[in-house]
Amino acid sequence: MAAEPIIPLDPAWPKMSLAQAQALLTAPGQRFEIEELDIRGVPTRVWKNAPANLSLLLLASRAHGERLFTIHEDERVTFEANFRATAQLATRLREMGVRKGDRVALAMRNLPEWPVIFFAAVSIGAILVPLNAWWTGRELDYGLRDSGTRVLFLDGERYDRLKDRLGDLPDLERVVVSRCQGDQPAGVERLEDLIGKPNDWAALPEIVLPADPDLGPEDDATIFYTSGTTGHPKGALGTHRNLCSNIMSGGYAAARSYLRRGEMPPDPTPRTGLMVIPLFHVTACSASLMGAVAAGNTTVFMRKWDPVEAMEIIQREKVNLTGGVPTIAWQLLEHPDRHKYDLSSIEAIAYGGAPSAPELVKRIYTEFGALPGNGWGMTETMATVTSHSSEDYLNRPTSAGPPVPVAQLKIMDADCVNELPAGEVGELWAKGPMIVKGYWNKPEATAECFRDGWVRTGDLAKLDEEGFLYIVDRAKDMIIRGGENIYSSEVEDVLYAHPAVTDAALIGIPHKTLGEEPAAVVHLAPGMHATEAELQTWVKERLAIFKVPVAIRFVKDTLPRNANGKILKTELRGLFVDEKAA
């Protein structure tokens, strides 16, 4: 089922099958050994050597000592300094009366304080609630009420959005503000008074981390809110095992790539990564930050995404890893000043949450000399379920990759009764140690989406004979034109293949007799040109006529996305008012 490789590969590749690589890497005594445990009554494959909880991960990070953990502008924090600040804050939380199961919320942009607050809370058994820093005051109010937060940490900007609402939150007892401009607001505490500023953390006294001694893998750790665009977000209740599983999943995927090309996996070497996606999303927190803590990687934060600033940081800090969403890679590749910067340190550019054009996969490799990476996961899976990189990605540029060994995937029919064979499209279900417990305080939604260890994803997908996953569409985004199903990704892939197109989305617009018809929104590469008729002909030559967009709108900027990189298609429908109900 794999498409033709987008660049010539070694004819002898792969030197090892997926099954052979998995057997070697997961054998008894190996780093990625697997065992089966009973989790909430469900037999589940787990990583045997994953940390048992997040406090043990934090304690192990001290071994990285004076290596830089985070960089933010002129603030540089070592692993040891980060640990000292975390131990201090965890002690303060204990003094505030925070106990196991209490909710501690965090509303803050990416800053060195973010991981300190995160690990301080989860190490003492509290449930950390990362709130979307893009939310309005009303949305933040909802998250705090829904989670029943007792202690809230936020930066000055989020405080300004929430200050008029804080007094009305029934469960909220303490508010701690970081980087508050001007005089200290009444009724709140300053984080700097508790632990100092980031560049001062190295001088903090060494104290014992007051970790909960009874903290287990299945204890509650986080509530990440879903990024749904309709109705209220749902809080996905994650465990310590959920987050710790990603550490092993990422390492396994890297080792598998080496074996596939016939090389022995080297010992892990710390890298420097530029993080440009928000930590309140599982891709950044679970898939990236947890692995960075384990591996000793340095994480560089940006205040907001800017391609010129990003290239300056990559050159100055010798960044090895970056990514997040495809837009970021496109903007780096196409920036007219790219040649002015030394970007040769980049080894990998990975992203998730959104489909990407095969042309992007090719250009990352041919122009940056970097390995592309992708994968599939969602808030309910605490990020990584499949991982796709290196030659496998170059060979199957439209796939999201195979599942990691502890994960299981299946494709179910519309009635959720029968599992479909390879190659057939249905709803994707996933199982494994990364699947969250359910939705916070929403038993009906939990019962609907979580069944016997499996999560119903709402994604329409297919698996090939080797187990590689292909996401076809969101079930709710599939367009039905006169009874014919149109999967948006199929049409979007064709549009992406046009040399002028760098961003594309297919949406359904109402039609009085057909129900709905496909329409497209497209962003063109700088200096390139294409007309509506030209792109319609391009699609018509490659797909059935009923899949051709009846209208195409061109936008100056890349398409709007939510925090996890998914295109906000509801915001695009207003571009087609002339065609509605034609």
Q: Is residue 424 part of a domain?
A: yes
Q: Is residue 116 part of a domain?
A: yes
One domain, residues 468 and 561: no
By the 8 A CB rule, do 372 and 330 touch?
A: no
One domain, residues 488 and 421: no
Q: Is residue 4 part of a domain?
A: no
What is the distance between the alpha carbons of residues 1 and 399, in angstroms, rounded to a whole number?
A: 10
Q: State the pLDDT at residue 1.
A: 43
Of 443, 472, 501, which residue constitutes the final position of a domain?
A: 472
Q: State the pLDDT at residue 353.
A: 58
One domain, residues 286 and 358: yes
Of 472, 493, 509, which residue constitutes the final position of a domain?
A: 472
Regions of the chain short of the pLDDT cut 50 = 1-2, 229-230, 581-582
One domain, residues 304 and 372: yes
The structural domain count of the chain equals 3
Q: State the pLDDT at residue 87.
A: 98
Q: Is residue 176 part of a domain?
A: yes
Of 472, 501, 532, which residue constitutes the final position of a domain?
A: 472
Q: Is residue 581 part of a domain?
A: no
Q: Residue 317: which residues within 8 A CB-CB, separation 6 or more? A: 71, 272, 274, 298, 300
Q: Is residue 6 part of a domain?
A: no
Q: State the pLDDT at residue 55.
A: 98
Strand-pair category, 75-78 with 68-72? antiparallel
By the 8 A CB rule, do 264 and 258 touch?
A: yes
- Residue keyed to tokens 């100056």: 556
One domain, residues 294 and 431: yes
One domain, residues 371 and 313: yes
One domain, residues 107 and 121: yes
| CB half-sphere exposure, 540, CA atoms < 13 A | 10
Q: State the pLDDT at residue 322.
A: 95
What is the distance between the alpha carbons of residues 542 and 540, in angstroms, rounded to a whole number?
A: 5
One domain, residues 126 and 162: yes
Q: Is residue 90 part of a domain?
A: yes
Domain harbouring 247, CATH code: 3.40.50.12780
One domain, residues 466 and 324: yes
One domain, residues 207 and 252: no
Nearest to 455 by CA among 244, 237, 289: 237
Q: State the pLDDT at residue 568.
A: 83
Q: State the pLDDT at residue 305.
A: 87
One domain, residues 35 and 22: yes
User: By residue range, what is the domain housing residue 447?
Assistant: 18-50+238-472
Alpha-carbon radius of gyration of the chain? 24
Sheet holding 438-439, edge to edge: 189-190, 174-178, 151-155, 103-107, 127-130, 220-225, 235-239, 438-439
One domain, residues 187 and 285: no
